[in-house]
A and B are shown apart, each in its own frame.
Chain A
Amino acid sequence: MPFRDADDVTTYIGGIFEAAFEDPELADKLRATGVVLQMRFHEPAADVVVDLINQSVHDSAEGLAVGATLAMSAETGNAYWQGKVNLPLAMAKGQVKVDGKVAGLLKLAPLSKRLYPTYVARLQADGRHDLVV
């Protein structure tokens, strides 16, 4: 199990977006997708909900109009945000389950690519080499 607990997941996966919202150009593009993305992780169980419109990260979807939900193990999630998981193949293998509009996720795809290096850099800066894949 790569992450220690739910807080660890929220800190790092949620942190990807918190960092992205600090970048004005990226923040605008993320807002334009109009997506509220929920990531439901297991092992450990954790919810990371990213409201790209209001640029906030939550640990529950309560009160938010979720556009798409991605369900996967935290290990898959960790690899996904490092660009190491092929989404359609992972969906075909049942490693990632998607509820809601995949179209919204596709709008996010070109931006996600820009998030991978910052995530890896953060893990390295924090000495979390155990999470780098």
Chain B
Amino acid sequence: MTTTTTRVTDLDFWARPFEEREEVFARLRAESPVSWHPPMEGGIMPSEREGIWIVTRHADIAEVSRDPERFCSGEGVQFEDVPDDLLEASHSFLAMDAPRHGLLRKLVSSAFTPRQVAKLEDQIRAQARAITDGLLEAGEGDFVDLVSRRLPMWTVYEMLGLDAAQQEHAAHLADRMVGFNDPAVIGDDEPGDVLNEALVGLLQIGLAFADERRSHPADDLMTNLVNAEVEGQRLSDDDIAAFFVLLSVAGNDTTRNTISLATHALGRHAEQKAWLAADFDTRIGTATEEFIRWATPVMTFRRTATRDTELAGQPIARGDWVGLMYASGNRDERVFDRPRELDLSRHPNPHQGFGGGGPHFCMGAFVAKMQIREITHQLLTRAPSLEVGEPVFQVGNFVRAVQQMPCRVR
């Protein structure tokens, strides 16, 4: 069994800067692309595991992602042990395998009718404009608070049709769910209490909201979800509530952090910013992909081996946990030329920012890209003098979360 002296499963490792972690990943990619580490530190219950395989090369991450029969999601996707019912109530189809995974995805996809998607584009454009108005009016403050936090929350909940008065509270609960390991988020509370309380709160909102739309349909995604029918199957209220939790977490945090980190990157790469602004419509496509590679908002997911197998020559036993390091895949020198440089014209850009491919590829990728495009356009054209300071990151292995980032418009 391969062991390493650098444990990427220590909480301390995830408190280090991204660039320092990348040094470790670069070494692992070169010397030990599939390596064994002790169980992840932290978490809400004691781990019954001896450890986890850590996969650092792009090709191996893709291989695992694209072979769900060999590496399943149904036994959880986080690096920490989580009780089964908590997983079921919070991860929806993210932590499911075929055939139920496919069915639920199809049901949810069917709610995104062409009419909803067209409406969504107009909504996002108007929201990005309004948020930029607010930024210009404020002049300075916290970029996360003023901009990047607001757009995804607004987009996701407006798309669903959630009452505006509940949006802020729901987003706050989603933040607590992701930040349960970070003392800055939870204070003196126990991680398990924080996680469960936030989850139950989101489930309550989701259940009540689904119920409301069954009796009072509207022109929104939640109405489409409660009415969705595929192959004679429908979503139960429990299914919808769990999907509401998934969407609240996956839809809020990921795009928020990409927007923060993309804006930070543009602030530090004036020539790239000028290049993008010079021909925005033609260049935003490749730029968006590079922002996502650069940010890697979701840094990890996990799979479980369904049988004895091998990965990059390393034997893996049935039941072993396999951790996918997207942040490492996105800097893999075997795939990306000058991987540590921001290049908004990079093409092709097979980044793993939406996962490593396969059936769990991010379903909301098109929504995320729309938001990045619209907010970047607004900021470049209406706040070209925007300056941002250094981001403060949340400690954790899952989402690369920027908690604060000072900003000023001159």
Contact = CB atoms under 8 A, between A and B. Distances in A.
Interface in A107-123: 107, 109-110, 113
Interface residues of A, number: 16
A86 B81 contact: no
B196 A106 contact: yes
Interface in B45-88: 45-46, 48, 81, 83-86, 88
B45 A86 contact: no
Nearest to B83: A109
B241 A110 contact: no
A103 interface: yes
Contacts of A89: 85, 89, 203, 238, 241-242
A92 B203 contact: yes
Contact of A102 (B88, B192, B238, B242): B192
A88 B89 contact: yes
B199 interface: yes
Contact of B88 (A86, A103, A110, A113): A86
A102 B45 contact: no
B203 A88 contact: yes
B381 interface: no
A102 B190 CA distance: 9
B181 to A, nearest CB: 13
Interface string A26-51: 00000000000000000000000000
Chain B's interface: helix, strand, loop or mixed, by majority?
A: helix
B109 interface: no
Given A101-B193, A109-B83, A88 B200 contact: yes
A87 B84 CA distance: 10
B33 interface: no
B200 A86 contact: no
A91 interface: yes
B90 interface: yes
B84 A88 contact: no
A89 B244 CA distance: 13
Chain B interface residue number, banded: 20 to 34
A93 interface: yes
A107 B45 contact: yes
Contacts of B84: 109, 113
A103 B192 contact: yes
Contact of A103 (B44, B89, B199, B203): B44
A110 B192 contact: no
B120 to A, nearest CB: 28
A101 B192 CA distance: 9
Contact of B190 (A86, A93, A101): A101
Contact of B48 (A86, A92, A106, A110): A110
Contacts of A109: 45, 83-86
A110 B81 contact: yes
B44 A86 contact: no
Given A92-B204, A92-B207, A101-B193, A110 B89 contact: no
B355 interface: no
A35 to B, nearest CB: 12
A86 B89 CA distance: 7
B323 interface: no
Residue of A85, A87, A93, A106 ringed by the most chain B CB atoms within 10 A: A106
Given A86-B88, A109-B45, A92 B192 contact: no
Nearest to A103: B192
18 contacts: A86-B88, A88-B85, A88-B90, A89-B89, A89-B242, A92-B241, A101-B190, A102-B192, A102-B197, A103-B191, A103-B193, A106-B44, A106-B83, A106-B196, A109-B45, A109-B84, A109-B85, A110-B81
Given A88-B196, A88-B199, 5 more contacts: A89-B238, A103-B196, A106-B83, A107-B45, A107-B46
Interface of B: 44-46, 48, 81, 83-86, 88-90, 190-193, 196-197, 199-200, 203-204, 207, 238, 241-242
Interface of A: 85-89, 91-93, 101-103, 106-107, 109-110, 113
